[in-house]
Structure 1
Amino acid sequence: MSNNRRPIYVSIAIIIVTAAVILWFKPDGDDKKDTNATQTLPAVINSEDNASLSTELATGQTAQATTTSSQSTFVTGLENLPRSLKGTQVDGDIIIDENKQLVVTEGLRRLFDYFLSALGEEEEAVIFARVESYIRQHTPEPAASQAVAIFNQYVAYLKALPEIEKRYGNLQLQATKSGELDLNAVAQQRQDVANLRQQYFDKPTITAFFGAEDDYDDYSIEMVKINQNKQMSDAQKQAARQNYISRLPNNATKESIMQQANLGELMARTEQMKARGATPEALYNMRRDLVGAPAAERLAQVDREDANFDQRFTQYETQKQRLLSQSADQTQTQAQVQINQLEQQLFNDTERKRLDGYAALQQQQATSTP
């Protein structure tokens, strides 16, 4: 689902500069799945999406989910979905055991996040009714009522989070005089968040909802500690990073962290191999070994798209220069009209926005190359 209006969660993961690139390496299991039937154990959590929710929750009053409100508005919870959810599949899952008791998983949190992402398009009370209807349509009792209760707790927890954020502000900006992250403030904020969670959830729910997120935070903080250690050489820091990762439990979180750790090497190798004229097959094999086949294929697709754009850009620049050189024989306005038509023929709306910046980059590279 795209265009989720979600604020930055109280998470230390913001200190990872390469977070945007890391999204490439998430497993395909992160895709939204329509759970039209309640699953029973055993089940595998499909993703570790650290989704966060809009602070719009903190500006309104809590609208508790009730059977009356949901049944009077929805049957399945999927009727008349808001624009941002149309055409998407319901993310998350509801797991029950053989006694029809709810088994809390990270997938349940993703299910809540999926519907709550529509805040701003729908009133809070409508979303509550939608969520309860969806749960009761797909889940037997007593698991259904248990899930509704946890949803109410989850929303109350999310509404309380901004107060902690307000107390600490942007920790990324509150650096020490040497420009380093204040790890003491980070640790205190994390403790405050942990205490808040304990007010709303039992320990199994905390582990299920936030366990993977906490693992990422632990990793991120440890990497910052290593980077800020003035007593260690670069080689020692690299060894310390590898040692920390090697001691992590073997799970999906570790696999993703290892992919992140390989990012720097991936970028360096890619640049070196392209400079040497490496074939697409050679690049794919190198990337597959570092970050896995799905990410390698996505990066290969990016290469193909970039190559296609470069080819069209070269064609565009050639014809543009020809039109400009002929402008003496026609008005400047006529030449610009033809150039605009050329842009529309060769590029889509998004690509046209890149043209000026891309041309400047090409010029910069040309002047800096001997």
Structure 2
Amino acid sequence: MPYPRYLLPLIALPLLLLAGWAVSTPEATAPAGSSSPTQTGTQVDAGTSTTTDVPRADERLKELFDYYLSTEGEQTLDAITRQIDAELAKRFPSAISQDRQRLFRQFLAYRRALQPLDADPNLQGSTPAQARRRLDAARALRSQYFSPAEIDALFGWEDRYDDDALARQQIAADASLNEQQKQARLAELDKQLDPAMLTARQQPVQHLLLADHATQARAQGQSEADIQRWRATQVGEAAADRLAALDREEAAWQQRIQQYLGERRALLGRTDLDAPARQQALQTLRDSRFTSQEQLRLAAYEG
């Protein structure tokens, strides 16, 4: 079954760690919307955890940044920045919203600094050791853009999740262990996780089962309303609504992909271009349709 785009960060963690994908953080609830067509009806928390009288930044603030930045390509970065600034101004008092806006601009600079790492041959590959090098390289950049407290607030939960995922991959790849020993070590890792992170780690499997059921139900002629009602019985109304929103996002993504593939076929069929010119034209087409992060996933459709 072709996996929906929104599941790929959790299924193919080593490939996408460097691209800035974020795993879902615990208790991500739903307020703000976006003017992007793919996010119509979807919402995300801006992060309002409070340890004193002043809300502190946390991983949900980064989740808000990623939420809006996922529309890059449909919208300009200037438009996205205005949306985030307006959202933060609506949520927080002036001084706090200005600090959050500062963090967003530093986050953009950090994302730009990550891009050259994509082409570094020393950071390519899918083994646990290669994935660790990519993580370490990305983390080393952070201190240039964020304070230690900001790093912990924005990336701490995600880093713990990634470290746990890599530890599990190392166990799975260890040829010196038999299956029983691997399962025992994985169980030990489960015991070390807090309940929220353990639940988050288990979510991809549940999402795959739900996505598989939805695919089969559609093939059998069931309506989206039927699928939504069944999902609600499995995961509750709120989660079912989020899955329906992700379905809409996936449908919009597939539409973009099909349009791109049609234009790509037309380019490849042009006889007035030599090979270098054709490749340049293809890259220009990719750049006009997809962000650098999205382009990492195009190979799966171009083969």
Q: TM-score, normalised by structure 2?
A: 0.57
2:79 corresponds to = 126
Of 105, 114, 117, the residue aligned with 1:164 is 117
Q: Using CA pairs under 8 Å that are at least 6 residues apart, name the structure with larger relative contact order, 1 or 2.
A: 2
**Counterpart in the other structure of 1:14:** 14
Residue in 2 that maps onto 1:305: 217
Rounded Cα–Cα distance in structure 2 between residues aligned with 1:90 and 1:259: 19
- Shift of residue 5, structure 1, vs aligned partner: 9.4
Q: For residue 156 of structure 1, what is the amino acid of its counterpart?
A: A
2:92 aligned partner: 139
1:102 and 1:144 in contact (8 A); partners too: no
Select the residue among 148, 156, 163 that pairs with 1:211: 156
Q: Does 1:83 align with 2:30?
A: no
Describe the SS at the equivalent of 2:144.
helix
Identity %: 20
Match of residue 193, structure 1, among 138, 147, 151: 138
Aligned counterparts, 1:332-347, within 5 A: none
Going from structure 1 to structure 2, the CA distance change for 1:251 and 1:99 (only over 3 Å counts) comes to closer
The alignment status of 1:227 with 2:169, answered yes or no, reads no
Once residues 130 and 303 of structure 1 are traced to their aligned partners in structure 2, the CA distance between those partners, rounded to angstroms, is 34
Find the aligned partners of 1:155 and 1:33 in 2 and give their Cα distance. Answer: 23
**TM-score of the superposition, structure 1-length normalised?**
0.47
Aligned position for 2:46: 93
| Amino acid in the other structure paired with 1:253 | M
Asked if 1 retains the 8 angstrom alpha-carbon contact of 2:48 and 2:55, the reply is yes
* Cα 1:156–1:231 shift into 2, 3 Å: same
Q: Which amino acid aligns with 2:31?
A: D
Q: Select the structure that is richer in helix.
A: 2
1:5–1:117 CA contact under 8 A, matched in 2 = no
1:244 to 176, 189, 199: 189
Deviation at 1:28, TM superposition (A): 10
Q: Distance in 2 between matches of 1:189 and 1:98?
A: 33
Query: Who is 2:199 aligned against?
Result: 255
Unaligned runs of 5+ in 1: 17-22, 36-76, 173-180, 264-290, 311-349, 351-370
1:92 deviates by: 2.0
Distance 1:201 1:229, change over 3 A: same
Q: Where does residue 300 of structure 2 map in the other structure?
A: none
Secondary structure of 1:242 counterpart: helix
Whether the 8 Å CA contact 1:100–1:140 is kept in 2: the answer is: no
- Distance (whole Å) between structure 2 residues aligned to residue 154 and residue 303 of structure 1: 37
Unaligned runs of 5+ in 2: 17-22, 223-253, 255-303
How far has the Cα of 1:232 moved from its partner?
A: 1.8
Q: Check conservation: 1:91, 1:114, Cα contact below 8 A.
A: yes
Q: Decide whether the 8 Å contact of 1:157 with 1:200 is kept in 2.
A: yes
- Determine if contact 1:95/1:102 at 8 Å carries over to the other structure: yes
Alpha carbons of structure 1 residues 15 and 193: separation in structure 2 relative to 1, 3 Å = closer
Counterpart amino acid of residue 197 in structure 2: T
Kindly report the root-mean-square deviation, in angstroms, between the aligned alpha carbons of the 2 structures.
4.0
Q: How many residues align?
A: 211
After TM superposition, give the deviation of residue 147 of structure 1 in Å: 0.7
Counterpart Cα distance in 1 of 2:104 and 2:170: 36
Aligned-residue offset at 1:227: 2.3
**Secondary structure of 2:177's match?**
coil
> What is residue 34 of structure 1 aligned with on the other side?
31
Deviation at 1:128, TM superposition (A): 1.8
Measure how far apart 1:191 and its partner are: 1.7
Task: Report the CA distance shift for 1:303/1:102 in structure 2 as closer, same or farther (over 3 A).
Answer: closer
Q: If you compute each CA radius of gyration, which structure gives the higher value, 1 or 2? A: 1
Deviations 1:183-219 (A, max 9, x none): 1x33332222111111111223222322232223222
Q: Say which SS state the counterpart of residue 75 (structure 2) adopts.
A: coil
Per-residue deviation at 1:162?
Answer: 1.2
Distance in 2 (alpha carbons) for counterparts of 1:99 and 1:15: 39
Aligned AA (1:143): I
Give the deviation of 1:112 after TM superposition: 1.6
